Structure 1
Amino acid sequence: MMKIASFRITPVRNGFSLLEMLVVVSIILILATVAVPKFMSAGKTAKIAKISADIRTIDNAAALYEIDKGKYPETVAALATKDTNGKAYLQFEPKLPDGTVYSIGTDGVVSGTFDGKTYTSQMEDIKNGG
Structure 2
Amino acid sequence: MVDLSQYLPILLFLGVALVLSSVFVFAPMAVSRLTGAHKPDPEKLSEYECGFPAFEDSRSQFDVRFYLVAILFIIFDLEAAFLFPWAVSLDEIGWTGWAAMMIFLGELVLGLVYAWKKGALEWE
Do these two structures clear the TM 0.5 threshold for a shared fold by scoring above it? no
Normalization by structure 1: what TM-score? 0.31
Structure number having the greater helix percentage:
2
Normalization by structure 2: what TM-score? 0.32
Quick check: which has more Rg, 1 or 2?
1
